[in-house]
Homo-oligomer: A and B are copies of this chain.
């Protein structure tokens, strides 16, 4: 065995041991070292670069590493194997998807705005924000020789009396601790109670003087990012909120790679462990530690996630999702409790999963559609969720249709050489001077934060600006020269946003023709999906009344630029609304409102799914959309007009 030391820019070291010939990326995965490998280790994305500090690796040269870089020690992990003790440095760009946990500061109104909005939208749509959880104060007589009722009946009767229930059921954990809690507190207690199927279910019991609440956990399990919040079930108040990278990321950036990984021996358990033990439970632990909430008082959990994430969470065989005829094990299910998944909340908490409606439109979309409230209004709305994939819903209070398009992870920074999530170091907005071609950008993070890469909204801006300044042509090819424009040995052009010396990373922050091409295909997939879906029901773009944009692309998204590059339909800008993580705000609504829970099932059941790959004309439409803004300029009149004005 050889010793492999992973060194981080933070100064942290992680040590692993590996056999001769073991693949370095595999060693990193085994050791829970997150090295970003969106292509799942087949050498195509070039993101898993590490720098050898001491020792040497057996490694292949690839187009992602220049001769100079190779000489400098840079290697791609996925094509490197261990042959001796080695120390490698993992740059921030390679670990941009790392499970960095972030607990939100709830004093910022920004953090809870989307939930308040979702709640007020629900109320406006006639959905009552009610569930039957409550905390009861229960004072019992102490037993005597003449009053020998056993503890469980004593509690059940008292709870029925206080709450007006017909009967009461004690969960096992309540039964187990009951004799001690009653006697230590003189038979004066508080209970967390919910009414289920006509009876009171007692989830927790504590002494009357102890803090006691009824809490719920809402969670959005994205392919890339997991976001969670804890809410007070009675008041709806959000008491904690946190997010982190999905621990499964090291097994592939997209759902297909995850499913393939889960099919290997032990794979289902491994993927489940990555999302539960390494992601969800630590989030819960952090939130509970911060708020001093007892885990046993988190009594309901609502999950919004795509179909594959739902299946991997439950630990099931998800292979049928990707194999014709693409059948999930479940859309909705009432079979799962927290204890089944070893999620560290009340073991009897029901896990409500926002319903999937197909293999490629999941609970994140039904929850998001719920939150957007488009199902409640007569106007025709388009809901666009830009996650690791792109999903669309179009309709109104009379009908809803949805489709998924293989936009890939570009909107979250995947498939882009300097792409990253919308976290510290990401360029989130950019303008370029048409004359000097010098960029001006804003970087997420504290003042002085140097740029590390580009997040989705930043990429949109850069491409829109490069096009506006005629630095690239409609096909994304560089057509001007300058100090920031380079061509490599293969002739591939790129534009440097920040040279290495100004960057917070180990290399230039740039955007290449390959990146632009990837992004054009991604935005083309979105726009062609919109157009195809509308055409399939004899609508056209001008008939869209509202557009709701959701997802991890970031609140910094410049809608005008997104229209300019031909990603979003060319309708008046005031029609666009960015609604943030609608998957989480939908989960929040479902968690707290029994009516919303019914409604999301209704929304899911009534949503027609359009399979684009078998829809006539989609491929033509897609090809036509892979230009800036589109081969059919008539679809983007405002862009054409602006361009004409610029030329005047």
* Residues of A that sit less than 8 Å from B by CB: 143-145, 147-153, 169-172, 174-176, 178-180, 183, 197, 314-317, 319-320, 324-331, 333-337, 339-340, 356, 358
Contact: A329 with B172, CB < 8 Å?
Answer: no
Report the minimum CB–CB distance from A269 to chain B (whole Å): 12
Contact: A320 with B183, CB < 8 Å?
Answer: yes
Contact: B175 with A329, CB < 8 Å?
Answer: yes
Contact: A172 with B336, CB < 8 Å?
Answer: yes
Report the minimum CB–CB distance from A180 to chain B (whole Å): 6
Q: Given A317-B180, A320-B183, A330-B153 in contact, is the A335-B148 Cβ separation under 8 Å?
A: no
Give Cα A316 to B331, complex, Å: 39
Contact: A150 with B325, CB < 8 Å?
Answer: no
Contact: B325 with A172, CB < 8 Å?
Answer: no
Q: Which 9 A-B pairs have the closest CB atoms?
A: A175-B335, A152-B330, A179-B317, A172-B340, A151-B329, A143-B327, A145-B325, A150-B328, A179-B329
Residues of chain B lying within 8 A (CB to CB) of residue A327: 143, 148-151
Report the minimum CB–CB distance from A569 to chain B (whole Å): 29
Apart from A153-B330, A176-B314, 19 more pairs, CB < 8 Å: A143-B325, A145-B325, A149-B327, A150-B328, A150-B331, A151-B320, A151-B327, A151-B330, A153-B331, A171-B335, A172-B340, A174-B335, A175-B329, A175-B333, A176-B315, A179-B319, A179-B329, A180-B317, A339-B339
Residues of chain B lying within 8 A (CB to CB) of residue A147: 325
Residues of chain B lying within 8 A (CB to CB) of residue A331: 150, 153
Give Cα A152 to B310, complex, Å: 14
Contact: B180 with A148, CB < 8 Å?
Answer: no
CB-defined A-B contacts under 8 Å, sample of 6: A144-B325, A148-B327, A148-B358, A152-B333, A179-B319, A197-B197
Q: Given A150-B327, A329-B175, A358-B148 in contact, is the A169-B317 Cβ separation under 8 Å?
A: no
Give Cα A150 to B317, complex, Å: 13
Specify the chain B residue showing the minimal Cβ separation from A176: B316
Report the minimum CB–CB distance from A148 to chain B (whole Å): 6
Contact: A175 with B314, CB < 8 Å?
Answer: yes
Report the minimum CB–CB distance from A336 to chain B (whole Å): 6
Contact of A330 among B175, B315, B336 (CB under 8 A): B175
Contact: A330 with B150, CB < 8 Å?
Answer: yes
Residues of chain B lying within 8 A (CB to CB) of residue A336: 172, 175
Specify the chain B residue showing the minimal Cβ separation from A324: B145
Residues of chain B lying within 8 A (CB to CB) of residue A197: 197
Give Cα A197 to B340, complex, Å: 22
Contact: B179 with A320, CB < 8 Å?
Answer: yes
Give Cα A329 to B147, complex, Å: 14
Residues of chain B lying within 8 A (CB to CB) of residue A183: 320
Specify the chain B residue showing the minimal Cβ separation from A336: B172
Give Cα A330 to B356, complex, Å: 42
Contact: A170 with B335, CB < 8 Å?
Answer: yes
Report the minimum CB–CB distance from A614 to chain B (whole Å): 8
Contact of A316 among B175, B333, B335 (CB under 8 A): B175
Give Cα A174 to B171, complex, Å: 22
Give Cα A172 to B339, complex, Å: 10
Specify the chain B residue showing the minimal Cβ separation from A198: B197
Residues of chain B lying within 8 A (CB to CB) of residue A324: 145
Residues of chain B lying within 8 A (CB to CB) of residue A319: 179
Specify the chain B residue showing the minimal Cβ separation from A311: B179
Contact: B325 with A148, CB < 8 Å?
Answer: yes
Report the minimum CB–CB distance from A155 to chain B (whole Å): 10
Residues of chain B lying within 8 A (CB to CB) of residue A325: 143-145, 147-148
Report the minimum CB–CB distance from A189 to chain B (whole Å): 14
Residues of chain B lying within 8 A (CB to CB) of residue A151: 320, 327-330
Report the minimum CB–CB distance from A285 to chain B (whole Å): 24
Specify the chain B residue showing the minimal Cβ separation from A319: B179
Residues of chain B lying within 8 A (CB to CB) of residue A314: 175-176
Residues of chain B lying within 8 A (CB to CB) of residue A148: 325-327, 358
Report the minimum CB–CB distance from A363 to chain B (whole Å): 12
Specify the chain B residue showing the minimal Cβ separation from A172: B340
Give Cα A585 to B334, complex, Å: 36
Specify the chain B residue showing the minimal Cβ separation from A328: B150
Q: Given A325-B145, A331-B153, A333-B152 in contact, is the A316-B179 Cβ separation under 8 Å?
A: yes
Residues of chain B lying within 8 A (CB to CB) of residue A169: 334-335
Residues of chain B lying within 8 A (CB to CB) of residue A334: 169
Specify the chain B residue showing the minimal Cβ separation from A202: B335
Residues of chain B lying within 8 A (CB to CB) of residue A356: 150
Residues of chain B lying within 8 A (CB to CB) of residue A170: 333, 335
Report the minimum CB–CB distance from A608 to chain B (whole Å): 12
Most buried by B among A143, A197, A337: A143
Most buried by B among A170, A328, A329, A340: A329
Give Cα A175 to B315, complex, Å: 10
Most buried by B among A149, A326, A331, A337: A331
Report the minimum CB–CB distance from A332 to chain B (whole Å): 8
Give Cα A334 to B153, complex, Å: 11
Report the minimum CB–CB distance from A284 to chain B (whole Å): 20
Give Cα A354 to B337, complex, Å: 27
Give Cα A147 to B358, complex, Å: 12
Residues of chain B lying within 8 A (CB to CB) of residue A153: 330-331
Give Cα A52 to B153, complex, Å: 53
Report the minimum CB–CB distance from A477 to chain B (whole Å): 39
Report the minimum CB–CB distance from A263 to chain B (whole Å): 12
Give Cα A256 to B561, complex, Å: 79
Residues of chain B lying within 8 A (CB to CB) of residue A339: 339
Give Cα A132 to B483, complex, Å: 81
Residues of chain B lying within 8 A (CB to CB) of residue A316: 175-176, 178-179
Give Cα A336 to B173, complex, Å: 9
Give Cα A506 to B633, complex, Å: 106
Contact: B335 with A152, CB < 8 Å?
Answer: yes
Residues of chain B lying within 8 A (CB to CB) of residue A180: 317
Give Cα A170 to B316, complex, Å: 14
Give Cα A150 to B355, complex, Å: 11
Report the minimum CB–CB distance from A118 to chain B (whole Å): 27
